[in-house]
Chains A and B, each alone.
Chain A
């Protein structure tokens, strides 16, 4: 049932591209991800059918770009900035801490669906580096220790919410 609804969303995007060729692939991927938060295997296959492309081709193009993700975003979506300023101020350690705590890599979602992790190039607030963004709240000057605190906080919050 759920997947039917999801496919309908994909089909709704495809309706805007009735006679499209492979050159329409990226805008279609972007719109599907905008609606669904990620590109599900079903969506990749459906888009491929529409454009007469094998799923491997669609997946190959999508993985080339950083903007596409292939697992559903978690309840709390965490973005870690790895731009130059953040890097200089130690964002590598922050990212590593979060990966260790959540046991996921960038682009992945925890099995319980609570957290997902994404690396972004620059949030545009370099003066506050290193930055992370959780549920669209920005956290400035994050050290590994501070990151741990923030994650623990959200772990509690997401549990009580859920």
Chain B
């Protein structure tokens, strides 16, 4: 430990740790535009500079290791002047259209300009040429608003192992973009949206489906059906100032009705359905010598990642569609008919924590006879925008319950929202399928928590089943390499594209910090702990769907509606 002095206050800190981390733990607020917790410092933005006694220049605290006896000033006049100048220089080439920006009032650059008291444009730089990249189904890229902090580049490479984008060119002409500076749609971008989540400005945002949804809600011909993903109910409230970890499922359902959705369904129902199919598939593969380890297929970023970078593992992917697509298919191909609604008049909306779900919904395999299974996908942020647009205050709602039959869920389906949740739900049901009994303890502790890779050996009826869970594609890559190099003790691998799973998805409220992710995870575990139906096979609505319509898991109808196939993709194009 070293003793240092910060703003005349004595602080004990571990020697060699970066000053910025220490300061933020001490509640000393030093701004940064480029630093990301847990990633290597880049020192690009110079916002976190501090004055260190005896040093000739100001030091970037993100890359300044603590040393014994250091004396630091974090808000001296010199420091504040430097920060203000940095912001003014950034603004010199930044568009002035804050009022029209999707990040208005939620922009880190705007906050800093405000906080540092920038009141006039002291420097006038050349504004960059606009070429909005709207080519991607999921993400809009606006290089004009980019401040070149490099967070998106680092997240894409270090957390997701994709590296779809990088700095292009140099000097004042530098911009960030995919190889050959083309559209994201022809790059190896997997659409996860982690870049959107870390972007300090409005340079990266989701491809919005709000207008289409509003139009459908106002179309008297349309029966507008909404489904919401397992993680939405534990994150939406944050958009309205509630602290992370509050489950608002009932309030959210009521709010959706107020917005005019004709039916409110729960994607956790089809998560249960996914488990029935996927656990059956796993048991089938294990008993008949099928391709192992089987890998989950719920996370669309991961699917595209395998298709383009690890096509030799496509056979390992479960053929199950994701819960979003399963419910979409069941709504249009079964429910509409049963209710006497023309499927062409059904407008199916899903609320997802994810930008890649927008891409998934547009995949050609996810449509039949020209009708897509899901018509529009809104992120958690877009749902919040829709609620604000309609003046709906979710905290003032009286809780309501979702519609039948697809509003019923088990808490296993709800667990899909966190890393390890699909695995836990699948283990509960696979155990039951193999042994005919319920697991003695439904809680599978080994696959819980926020570790990037989690592994366990489970004993099912005397057979050792090896399972692994990875979140963040860089972690998944590690596992894939091990399997490629001959590791053969694994039967089932769950992969979530985003670190921590959907609760930390690219469509979730901005400025999510690790504490918020933990709180969201705890909220899901609490729901599971307190629920009475905790297994997917225990979901009565799922059982009835099989009795009435589907027959049995992996049956003909299931294959037609609930399963899909994959195709190798070129890395570019």
Which of A's residues lie within 8 Å of B, judged by CB? 41, 44-45, 53-60, 63-64, 70
Contacts and interface: CB of A to CB of B under 8 A. Distances in A.
Contact of A59 (B162, B170, B179, B571): B179
Contacts of B168: 59-60, 63
A70 B180 contact: yes
Given A54-B162, A54-B188, A58-B179, A45 B571 contact: yes
A127 B188 CA distance: 50
Nearest to B165: A56
B307 interface: no
B157 A54 contact: yes
A72 to B, nearest CB: 14
Contacts of B180: 41, 44, 55, 59, 70
B178 A56 contact: yes
B164 interface: yes
A95 to B, nearest CB: 16
A6 to B, nearest CB: 15
B187 interface: yes
Contacts of A64: 167, 169-170
A155 B537 CA distance: 76
Contacts of B89: none
Interface in B137-194: 157, 162-170, 177-181, 187-188
Interface of B: 157, 162-170, 177-181, 187-188, 571-572
B169 A56 contact: no
Nearest to B189: A56
Contact of A55 (B167, B169, B571): B571
A67 B181 CA distance: 18
B164 A54 contact: yes
A48 to B, nearest CB: 8
Contacts of B181: 59
Given A41-B180, A44-B179, A70-B180, A57 B572 contact: no
Nearest to A42: B572
B165 A63 contact: no
B179 A55 contact: yes
9 contacts: A45-B572, A53-B163, A54-B157, A54-B166, A56-B163, A56-B188, A57-B163, A57-B166, A59-B179
Contacts of B188: 54-56
A35 B119 CA distance: 55
Nearest to A39: B180
B7 to A, nearest CB: 40
A70 B178 CA distance: 14
A103 B168 CA distance: 23
A18 B187 CA distance: 27
A57 B165 CA distance: 8
B572 A60 contact: no
* Interface core residue of A53, A55, A56, A58 (most chain B CB under 10 Å): A56
Contacts of B177: 56
Contacts of A54: 157, 162-164, 166, 179, 188
Nearest to B182: A41
Contacts of B164: 54, 56
Given A54-B157, A56-B178, A41 B163 contact: no
Contacts of A57: 157, 163, 166
B170 to A, nearest CB: 5
User: Can you list the 4 inter-chain pairs with the closest CB atoms, starting with the nearest?
Assistant: A54-B163, A60-B166, A55-B179, A59-B179
Contacts of B178: 56
A56 B166 CA distance: 6
Nearest to B164: A56
A41 B572 contact: yes
Nearest to B163: A54
B170 A56 contact: no
A60 B168 CA distance: 5
A54 B477 CA distance: 14
A59 B179 CA distance: 6
A56 B181 CA distance: 9
B409 to A, nearest CB: 39
A136 B168 CA distance: 30
A1 to B, nearest CB: 18
A53 B164 CA distance: 11
Contacts of B169: 63-64
Contacts of A60: 166-168
A119 to B, nearest CB: 13
A107 to B, nearest CB: 10
B572 A55 contact: yes
